Amino acid sequence: MAEPKTSNSTDSTLCKMKRQRYTAAQVVAALMKAHGIQAVAAKILGCDRSTVENYIHRYATCAEAAKAGREGILDLAESKLFLNIQAGQQRAVEFTLSRIGRARGYGDRLDIGIDDAIERELARLAVSREKEVSRTAPDDRDAE
């Protein structure tokens, strides 16, 4: 007669822990090939995007690969923008001035800098005005 299997603490601990399907190096390679785009890296590996995201949070090398890939995309986009500016494309010029040229007064909106002292004084005056209005407002009890 066969004896029933007994579980010990080691077996239950192993069951609770998930076995890693990929090495950090494999995820790094996929991220580099995918230029840091997690969904593409997941497709390369044949896993869920959340798996790649977990590796990025768990391993610094994976996080660095994802960041480096994204930086590469930005570098490429900036170089294309620069070529379009050189070619005289008005939209590229306007875009660059509205984003990078803000410090020189270009942009879609007006940015006004107010220093901290003025901001504190305006807040103090607003509170003072509220108190004054509440003191001079007729009391609801007087109307009865």
Q: Which residue has the higher pLDDT, 143 or 107?
A: 107
Average pLDDT over residues 32-61: 96
Say how far residue 55 (Cα) sits from the centre of its chain: 17
Place 121 in a pLDDT band, splitting at 50, 70 and 90. Answer: confident
113 half-sphere exposure, CB direction, 13 A CA radius: 4
Question: What would the mean pLDDT of 39-43 be, rounded to a whole number?
Answer: 97
Residue 114's contacts (CB-CB under 8 Å, 6 or more residues apart) are: 122
Tell the burial category of 52 from Cβ atoms under 10 Å away from its Cβ (0-12, 13-18, 19+): buried
Note the residue count of the chain: 144
Q: For residues 78-86, give the mean pLDDT.
A: 95
Note whether 74 and 35 are within 8 A (CB): no
What span, in angstroms and rounded, lies between the C-alpha atoms of 8 and 28?
37
- How far is the first Cα of the chain from the last one, in angstroms, to the nearest whole number? 95
**Mean pLDDT value of segment 65-84:** 95
The Cα 108–Cα 104 span in angstroms is 13
